Amino acid sequence: MKNNTWTIIKKEFARFFGDRSLMFTTVIMPGLLIYLIYSLMGEGIGKMVTEGQDEVVTMRVENMPEFLAAEIASDSQMVVVNQPFGQEDIDMLADEDLNIVMVRFPKDFELLVNTYDPKCGLPAPNVEIYYNSTNNATSLVYKTLTAFLDSYESGMSNRFDVNRVDDGSTAQFDMATDDSIGAMIWSKLLPMLIVMMLFSGTMAIAPSAIAGEKERGTIATLLVTPMRRNQLALGKIVSLSCIALLSGISSFIGIALSLPKMISGEDVELGFNYTFGDYAAILLVIFATVLIMASVVSLLSALAKDVKSAGTMITPFMLVVMLAGLIPMFQNNTPETFTTYIIPFYNSIEVMTATFAHKIMWSNVVVCLVSNICYTGIAVWGLTRMFNSEKVMFGK
């Protein structure tokens, strides 16, 4: 009997690629949506952070001390007006369109501060700052003022400095490089996102390929054809894995293009500084992971009577996979034990985490790949047994 595995693979490919709407929603749309959503979120967050920085704010001050006048003289965002104000003026700040901050110092503020004794039991000199927190410009000025005052207060009893940088000094105390910072962030985020995208791609096609055929009655036609059931099972799993891999790659590209816009700062460039070997390891692990996903989803779909019940059965499995994807966000070091890399799904996540963190060990990659292929073989055997069971396939 000839090997019909490739025939099954071609059949699934023809079903998938022949349906333009299915191909678009499974392969193109995930990456496109991720890129658009993450990019828009990044722009929105950046706008919220920077909004108001270029607006000029009028600061009405009573009894302004000399030290504050010297501090804010170089700040182009603030225009200082020495002018008393009353409660009616303060009530006007309820209008969020007014770029006005009102500050009231006690008379002889500096003298009061210098002579104040906390042991005297009297309240400390109080500075009143009135502003509207819904106005970003006045909020920024408020934060600047409080920073000035906190610095002044701490300087009253200063005995030592921490990481002081003198004028003209190029001292660097944080020795982390942009590349290491980027690697840390990618290793925390990307394994979880990749696993989620791979699973969503598998979920989009696998249930309809088996449970859907049972529901439509076309599975009976496949089972009566002259082919070995293990070839049918292998063909289903390999074809579904390849299609899910396309969806995962599309999502990965969308993530890679959009995340730098969302989380990179002005002084740090979070680029993908990885070698060809790193990319090869990631792609191999991704494909091995998809094989297991497609295998498990295929097994559950074979047990289900229709696509709806298949989705219900797959949901707990999805939760387990997503929880495993969250593990790198809560651990500081990559596990070094051998058993870590033979646990399904968790091994793939740990290998991807180590690779993105520039800590790849090819021995662990090999153990992960071999383990995943073995698990896929076991799943093919289990799916073959299901195809041979009339009770599972036809409910008899």
- Residue spans of the domains in the chain: they are 5-45+178-394, 57-149
pLDDT, tens only, 31-53: 777 777 767 766 655 555 555 56
Biggest CA–CA distance in the chain, Å, is 101
pLDDT, tens only, 236-262: 888 888 887 787 777 777 766 776 665
Percent of the chain exceeding pLDDT 90 equals: 1
Q: What is the C-alpha to C-alpha distance for residues 72 and 74, in angstroms, rounded to an integer?
A: 5
How confident is the model at residue 285, as a pLDDT?
87
Choice among 134-138, 209-213, 265-269 with the minimum mean pLDDT:
265-269
How confident is the model at residue 172, as a pLDDT?
55
How confident is the model at residue 130, as a pLDDT?
92
Q: What is the SS3 assignment for 88? A: helix
Residue 299: is its pLDDT beyond 50? yes
Percent of the chain exceeding pLDDT 70 equals: 80
Alpha carbon 252 to its chain centroid, in Å, reads: 12
Residue 171: is its pLDDT beyond 60? no
Mean pLDDT across 94-104: 86
Residue 308: is its pLDDT beyond 70? yes
How confident is the model at residue 50, as a pLDDT?
54
Q: What is the DSSP letter of 27?
A: I
Choice among 9-13, 37-41, 112-116 with the minimum mean pLDDT:
37-41
Indicate yes or no: pTM above 0.75.
Answer: no
Query: How many residues appear in the chain?
Result: 396
Residue 1: is its pLDDT beyond 50? no
Q: What is the DSSP letter of 341?
A: G
For domain 57-149, the CATH architecture is 3-Layer(aba) Sandwich (3.40)
Query: What number of H helices and E strands is found in the chain?
Result: 15, 4
- Cβ atoms of 61 and 103 within 8 Å: the answer is yes
Choice among 155-159, 312-316, 317-321 with the minimum mean pLDDT:
155-159
Describe the strand order of the beta sheet including 100-104 as a list of residue ranges: 78-82, 57-62, 100-104, 128-130
Q: What is the SS3 assignment for 107? A: coil
Q: What is the dihedral of CA 300, 306, 312, 316, to 10 degrees?
A: 10
